[in-house]
Chain A
Amino acid sequence: AQSVAQPEDQVNVAEGNPLTVKCTYSVSGNPYLFWYVQYPNRGLQFLLKYITGDNLVKGSYGFEAEFNKSQTSFHLKKPSALVSDSALYFCAVRRSGNQFYFGTGTSLTVIP
């Protein structure tokens, strides 16, 4: 089955420190991987995607993600966290039939 896993329900990081939100995938064939962010009382917003090409993908708000085929991972990263980055983050894989399978989400809290 094609899926993604987010092993951490909650990540806390101090403002200014680098942050990582983890995601691993299980996909047959070439994966189409995405990250979304959800702020309180809002819908999910697209951050970045990996389709093909460079393993390091840059996205919105200074976020980036590294596709690692050998480790089947697609971790979200940011060099310096902001308090405004506090939100819920979802990793997703595009399945056949144009469906997405979303991970369970990771709540990121950036501590001032």
Chain B
Amino acid sequence: DAGVIQSPRHEVTEMGQEVTLRCKPISGHDYLFWYRQTMMRGLELLIYFNNNVPIDDSGMPEDRFSAKMPNASFSTLKIQPSEPRDSAVYFCASSPGTKNYGYTFGSGTRLTVV
């Protein structure tokens, strides 16, 4: 398995533009998570899905952020409009449905909003 695949690896965009981050989880994993990592706030859970259904989106900062999982092999995190304070590394992770297993993280997308 190629692991959790995220694209793009790096994204630089201007303030006000729409940004879409993509994630392909490991096949067979029931759970998918989106995290944001910054120096100031560390790792923050934004939202997670179980069997493609959003379970908890309480970590999504504001309405500018939205996430979808149209099928078991694909998820997107969209920011519209983007702001400089959204600059961070965004990680996607997936996991099987049992507590014995940890997460497998993607390599992340480094977002810079100028």
Contact of B99 among A45, A90, A98 (CB under 8 A): A98
Is the C-beta of B95 less than 8 angstroms from some C-beta in chain A? yes
Q: For chain A, which range describes its interface: under 10, 10 to 19, 20 to 34, or 35 or more residues?
A: 20 to 34
Quick one: which of B73-114 are within 8 Å of A by CB? 91, 93, 95, 97, 99-100, 102-108, 110
Q: Classify the secondary structure of B's interface with A.
A: strand
- Rounded to whole Å, the gap between the CB of A3 and the closest CB of chain B is 13
Contact of A100 among B100, B103, B106 (CB under 8 A): B103
- Rounded to whole Å, the gap between the CB of B109 and the closest CB of chain A is 10
Contact of A51 among B42, B91, B95, B100 (CB under 8 A): B100
Inter-chain contact count A-B, CB under 8 Å? 53
Residues of B within 8 Å of A, CB-based: how many? 24
- Rounded to whole Å, the gap between the CB of B62 and the closest CB of chain A is 21
- Rounded to whole Å, the gap between the CB of A53 and the closest CB of chain B is 11
**Chain A residues positioned under 8 Å from B45 (CB to CB):** 99-100
Quick one: which of A55-112 are within 8 Å of B by CB? 90, 92, 94, 97-100, 102, 104-105
